Amino acid sequence: MAMTTGGGGGAMGDINVTPMIDILLVLLIIFMVIVPTVPHGLDALVPQPPKNPQKQQEPNDRTIVVQVLYTGKPTPDYKINETPVQKSELLAKLTDIYANRAERVMFIKGEDNVDFRSIAEVIDIGKEANVDHIGLMTPKILAGQ
């Protein structure tokens, strides 16, 4: 077993760890700053079932429900509160509806066979019409009412 004692001015074979730790800490800080800015997807509100199942609620004229209906064709049909609407007119109608409203909440009700791409397009149209909160109505919630 060889042992060196001070004095010999030769090259050392030890690794200097301090610069590696500095680089590691800088990378850690960079990843901590970047991770929270990654988008998490769509924010969705799901309507809750009523607390009193005996008490029937009257339809609220302030509630806007956009229905995406399966037709068997490549493109679905659309309704705003039971009024048929073409997809090309959807943005204009929603913009008119939400022009003077303080409460900008919209629900989207899609049938089981409808492709989610159609639902996502309605969500995008709602965002363009300045809707603040967009909720998705699911069959499970609807069956409980």
Q: What is the pLDDT of residues 20-78, one digit of tens each?
A: 999 999 999 998 888 766 566 666 666 666 676 555 444 456 688 999 988 888 889 99
pLDDT, position 39: 64
Beta strands at 83-85 and 77-80: parallel, antiparallel or unpaired: antiparallel
CATH for the stretch 64-143: 3.30.420.270
Domain boundaries, the chain: 64-143
**Residue closest to 79 by CA, chosen among 126, 71, 87, 120:** 87
For the CA atoms of 70, 114, 39, 142, the dihedral, rounded to the nearest 10 degrees, stands at: 80
Residue 16: pLDDT over 90: no
pLDDT, position 90: 92
Q: Starting at the edge strand that comes first in sequence, how are the strands of the sheet with 105-110 ordered?
A: 83-85, 77-80, 64-69, 105-110, 133-137
Q: What SS3 class is residue 125?
A: helix
Residue 8: pLDDT over 90: no
H or E stretch covering 53: none
Mean pLDDT of the chain: 79
Q: Which residues of 9-22 are buried (b: 16+ CB within 10 A; e: fewer)?
A: eeeeeeeeeeeeee
d(CA 111, CA 123): 15
CA angle 105, 59, 114 (to 5 degrees): 60
